């Protein structure tokens, strides 16, 4: 009884006698009461000792010196890093502070960033080095402590991770654990086909080319148009000659010795499995769904390292959980690419587009938009068979340094006949601080001074319709 009465009296008297004090209290948020909960929920996954961000925001002492910078990065939307327009699509791990939190931070900094009462401080989140997916069935690791210098830029490195499973494995969960969290800015995982698979594919391609040359289009007796579409088959790999990176080879005078620590893209790199970027490193596929690592295949980590003033090493690893039985739904990846563009020197807002039409019902699990340092934005729009249009993903502030995999919270169901249009924008002007050379016409290539218009799409085919006899 008393417990109910006392707070009611306090509230009434505070309002009655001291409206001014109440207003002032609301106008001056404190770290302990108002700001720490926002940081714990939105910032400290990266802003903690040993992780990617340059400073910790876990305690008042850590955060106070950064107050001004925090106010400006939060106000202009640079932090927390998330580059998609929130009005389109819902994505796993989307980061957005919301207007109320932004205002709290701005007011806190404007009031001199007060600490507040110790008793108001909630418990800080606990970060563990344990696996968050539970005990993995297999942990696959880089085979070396990759050396990272104290300063300078490091081109992408490709590290081979042996798997060599003796049978196909279906993955239901994976978690990537960077060796040095401060240095790993992103990590993309690809399958690597064994030598015999690469050779068999090359042989098949040669045969197909010969068939085409010598009238092979009629080879099975039916005109091409009347033949049924072949079942979907996982492509083995990108065919890039040994020692090359894709794109046009550089003229000899521009070729640099990449040094002893260069790990080139290996022959036989096949489809992607997904990626790690700071603050998020786990995939848990819905019930009945999995990703296949075929027998004999290995993995490749594409590593984007950033230096942070101290020489270090990295040995990243991936933990995998296997399905007990073969999942009904297998995830695959494909790419939507336009490789035949030329971005004129100095162009500030050059657009490159491409479209694809789905010839069967498909479900899309995630998208990874990828351009290099001149890329500034992406936009994906679907046109459904009934003519309806829908923006699927918009990335108006694309940043090469943040390679996000946009995983739909509800996988996107794409009916056959839908067209997906992708547009990418590039800034090849001197005004783009990341532009290595504004005087060049830029074309496709693997190197960051060249460009790409590349979207990796993880998808699955919906199960065929069940007959009424199969339904319960
Ligand atoms: C996904 C990881 C991540 C999250 C989440 C994140 N940050 Fe950052 N933050 C970084 C990284 C990395 C940098 C270094 C600059 C860069 O790479 O963009 C940075 C830089 C900053 C800076 C600039 C520091 C300077 O040098 O002046 C501020 C301020 C900042 N973050 C505040 C925040 C706040 C506040 C939040 C939460 C609302 C937040 N960040 C969430 C990764 C993150």
Q: What is the pLDDT of residues 423-457, one digit of tens each?
A: 999 999 999 999 989 999 999 887 778 899 999 89
Q: Are residues 178 and 321 in the same domain?
A: yes
- Confidence check: pLDDT of 14 > 60: no
Which of 327, 343, 370 finishes a domain? 327
* Residue 283 placed within a domain: yes
| Ligand 1 atom 33, closest CA | 79
- The whole-number average pLDDT for the span 455-464 is 85
pTM above 0.85? no
* Residue 304 placed within a domain: yes
Please give the residue that has the higher pLDDT: either 371 or 255: 371
**Residue 129 CB coordination number (10 Å):** 6
The CATH number of the domain holding residue 338 is: 2.60.120.230
Q: Are residues 387 and 456 in the same domain?
A: yes
Residue-level pLDDT at 129: 78
**Residue 218 CB coordination number (10 Å):** 10
Residue-level pLDDT at 11: 35
Residue-level pLDDT at 400: 86
* Residue 14 placed within a domain: no
Q: How far apart are the first and last CA of the chain?
A: 56
Instruction: Return the HEC string of 64-112.
Output: HHHHHHHHHHHHCCCCCCCCCCCCCCCECCCCCCHHHHHHHHHHHHHCC
Q: What is the pLDDT of residues 338-356, one digit of tens each?
A: 988 999 999 999 999 999 9
Q: Are residues 45 and 149 in the same domain?
A: no
Q: What is the pLDDT of residues 50-85, one digit of tens each?
A: 888 999 999 999 999 999 999 999 999 999 999 999
| Ligand 1 atom 26, closest CA | 54
- Confidence check: pLDDT of 164 > 70: yes
How far is ligand 1, taken at its centre, from the CA of residue 118, in Å?
25
Residue-level pLDDT at 278: 78
How far is ligand 1, taken at its centre, from the CA of residue 455, in Å?
26
How far is ligand 1, taken at its centre, from the CA of residue 53, in Å?
6
Mean pLDDT over all residues of the chain?
85
Q: Is 189 within 8 Å of 293 (Cβ atoms)?
A: no
For the chain, give percent helix, strand, coil, nearest 5. Answer: 20, 30, 50
Lowest mean pLDDT among 192-201, 235-244, 365-374, 435-444: 235-244
- CB of 370 sitting under 6 A from ligand 1: no
* Residue 3 placed within a domain: no
- CB of 70 sitting under 6 A from ligand 1: yes
Residue-level pLDDT at 286: 85
Counting residues of the chain whose pLDDT is more than 70, the rounded percentage is 83
- CB of 169 sitting under 6 A from ligand 1: no
How far is ligand 1, taken at its centre, from the CA of residue 55, in Å?
8
How far is ligand 1, taken at its centre, from the CA of residue 125, in Å?
17
Q: What is the dihedral of CA 60, 62, 66, 72, to 10 degrees?
A: -70
Q: Are residues 298 and 193 in the same domain?
A: yes
Residue-level pLDDT at 184: 92
Q: What is the dihedral of CA 300, 318, 304, 256, to 10 degrees?
A: -40
- Confidence check: pLDDT of 216 > 50: no
CA neighbor of 436 nearest in space, from 450, 452, 453, 454: 450
Q: Give the number of the atom of ligand 1 that is nearest the alpha carbon of residue 73.
A: 29
Q: Give the number of the atom of ligand 1 that is nearest the alpha carbon of residue 277.
A: 1
Residue ranges in 408-469 assigned as alpha helix (H): none
User: Among 38, 45, 47, 94, which is best to mutate for testing ligand 1, by the most ligand atoms less than 8 A from CB?
Assistant: 47
Q: Are residues 311 and 356 in the same domain?
A: no
Q: How confident is the model at residue 420 (pLDDT cuts 50, 70, 90)?
A: very high
How far is ligand 1, taken at its centre, from the CA of residue 196, in Å?
45
- Confidence check: pLDDT of 227 > 80: no
Which of 99, 120, 141 finishes a domain? 120
- CB of 279 sitting under 6 A from ligand 1: yes
Q: Give the number of the atom of ligand 1 that is nearest the alpha carbon of residue 95.
A: 5
CA neighbor of 275 nearest in space, from 327, 235, 333, 355: 333
Please report where in the chains the tokens 């088959």 appear, as a residue.
233
Burial per residue of 430-446, b for 16 or more beta-carbon CB atoms within 10 angstroms, e otherwise: eebeebeebeeebebbb
How far is ligand 1, taken at its centre, from the CA of residue 133, in Å?
26
User: Among 31, 43, 113, which is best to mutate for testing ligand 1, by the most ligand atoms less than 8 A from CB?
Assistant: 43
Q: Give the number of the atom of ligand 1 that is nearest the alpha carbon of residue 38.
A: 38
Distance CA 149, CA 152 (A): 7
Q: Is 363 left (phi over 0), alpha (psi -120 to 50) or beta?
A: beta
- Confidence check: pLDDT of 244 > 70: no
- CB of 74 sitting under 6 A from ligand 1: yes
Please give the residue that has the higher pLDDT: either 44 or 447: 44
Please give the residue that has the higher pLDDT: either 408 or 250: 408
How far is ligand 1, taken at its centre, from the CA of residue 102, in Å?
14
Distance CA 226, CA 218 (A): 11
> How many residues does the structure list for the chain?
472
Q: Are residues 41 and 187 in the same domain?
A: no
| Ligand 1 atom 23, closest CA | 69
| Ligand 1 atom 3, closest CA | 46
Strand partners of residue 188: 275, 302
- Confidence check: pLDDT of 158 > 70: yes
Burial of residue 331 (number of CB atoms within 10 Å: 0-12, 13-18, 19+): buried
Residue-level pLDDT at 250: 64
- Confidence check: pLDDT of 4 > 90: no
Please give the residue that has the higher pLDDT: either 380 or 282: 380
Residue-level pLDDT at 230: 46
- CB of 345 sitting under 6 A from ligand 1: no
Q: What is the pLDDT of residues 103-139, one digit of tens each?
A: 999 999 999 999 999 999 999 999 887 888 999 999 9
Max CA separation in the chain (angstroms): 96
Q: Are residues 112 and 177 in the same domain?
A: no
CA neighbor of 393 nearest in space, from 429, 424, 417, 362: 424
The CATH number of the domain holding residue 267 is: 2.60.120
Q: Are residues 386 and 312 in the same domain?
A: no
Please report where in the chains the tokens 């327009």 appear, as a residue.
85
Total structural domains in the chain?
3
Residue-level pLDDT at 270: 84
Element (H, E) at 10: helix 2-17
| Ligand 1 atom 5, closest CA | 43
* Residue 155 placed within a domain: yes
* Residue 316 placed within a domain: yes
* Residue 228 placed within a domain: no
- The whole-number average pLDDT for the span 237-257 is 61
In the numeric block, which tokens belong to residue 157? 């490195």
DSSP state of 12: H
In the numeric block, which tokens belong to residue 201? 């594919």
Distance CA 325, CA 216 (A): 40
* Residue 470 placed within a domain: no
Q: How confident is the model at residue 196 (pLDDT cuts 50, 70, 90)?
A: confident
- CB of 97 sitting under 6 A from ligand 1: yes
Q: How confident is the model at residue 265 (pLDDT cuts 50, 70, 90)?
A: confident
Q: Which domain holds residue 75?
A: 24-120
3-state SS class at 348: coil
Q: Are residues 201 and 265 in the same domain?
A: yes
- Confidence check: pLDDT of 13 > 50: no
Distance CA 205, CA 208 (A): 5
Report whether the peptide linkage leading into residue 80 is cis, meaning its omega lies within 30 degrees of zero.
yes
Q: What is the pLDDT of residues 310-349, one digit of tens each?
A: 999 999 999 999 999 999 999 988 889 998 899 999 999 9
Q: Are residues 33 and 107 in the same domain?
A: yes
Q: Are residues 299 and 191 in the same domain?
A: yes
- CB of 52 sitting under 6 A from ligand 1: yes
Distance CA 85, CA 398 (A): 10
Residue-level pLDDT at 1: 33
Q: Are residues 269 and 364 in the same domain?
A: no
- Confidence check: pLDDT of 224 > 90: no
């Amino acid at each position: 009884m008393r417990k109910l009465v006392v707070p009611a009296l306090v509230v009434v008297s505070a309002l009655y006698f001291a409206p001014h004090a109440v207003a002032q209290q609301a106008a001056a948020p404190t770290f302990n009461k108002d700001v720490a909960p926002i940081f714990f929920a939105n910032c400290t996954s990266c802003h903690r000792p040993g992780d990617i961000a340059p400073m910790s925001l876990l305690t008042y002492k850590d955060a106070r010196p950064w107050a001004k910078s925090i106010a400006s990065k939060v106000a202009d939307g640079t932090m927390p890093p998330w580059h998609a327009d929130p009005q389109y699509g819902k994505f796993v791990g989307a980061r957005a502070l919301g207007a109320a939190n932004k205002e709290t931070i701005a007011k806190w900094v404007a009031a001199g960033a007060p600490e507040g009462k110790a008793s108001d401080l909630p418990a800080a989140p606990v970060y563990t080095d344990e696996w968050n997916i539970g005990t993995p069935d297999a942990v696959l690791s880089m085979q070396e402590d990759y050396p990272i210098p104290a300063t300078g830029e490091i081109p992408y490195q490709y590290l081979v991770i042996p798997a060599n499973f003796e049978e196909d494995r279906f993955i239901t969960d994976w978690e990537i654990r960077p060796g040095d969290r401060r240095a790993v800015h992103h990590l993309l995982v690809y399958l690597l086909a064994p030598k015999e698979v690469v050779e068999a594919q090359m042989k098949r391609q040669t045969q197909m080319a010969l068939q085409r040359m010598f009238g092979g289009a009629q080879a099975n007796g039916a005109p091409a148009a009347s033949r049924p579409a072949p079942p979907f088959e996982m492509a083995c790999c990108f065919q890039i000659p040994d020692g090359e990176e894709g794109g046009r080879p550089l003229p000899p005078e521009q070729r640099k010795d990449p040094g002893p620590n260069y790990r080139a893209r290996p022959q036989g790199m096949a489809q992607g499995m997904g990626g790690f970027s700071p603050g998020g490193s786990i995939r848990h596929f819905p019930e009945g769904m999995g990703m296949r690592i075929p027998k004999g295949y290995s993995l490749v980590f594409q590593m984007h390292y950033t230096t942070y003033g101290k020489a270090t090493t990295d040995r990243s690893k991936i933990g995998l959980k296997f399905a007990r039985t073969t999942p009904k739904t297998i995830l695959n990846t494909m790419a939507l690419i336009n490789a035949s563009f030329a971005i004129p020197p100095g162009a500030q807002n050059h657009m490159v587009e491409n479209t694809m039409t789905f010839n069967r019902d498909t479900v899309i699990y995630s998208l990874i938009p990828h351009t290099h340092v001149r890329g500034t934005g992406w936009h994906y729009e679907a046109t459904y068979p009934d003519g309806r249009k829908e923006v699927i993903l918009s990335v108006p502030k694309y940043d090469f340094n943040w390679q996000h995999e946009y995983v739909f919270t509800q996988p996107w169901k794409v009916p056959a006949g839908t067209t997906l249009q992708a547009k990418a924008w590039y800034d090849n002007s001197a005004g783009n601080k990341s532009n290595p050379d504004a005087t060049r016409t830029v074309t496709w290539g693997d190197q960051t001074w060249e460009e790409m218009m590349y979207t990796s799409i993880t998808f699955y085919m919906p199960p065929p319709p069940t007959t009424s006899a199969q339904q319960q």
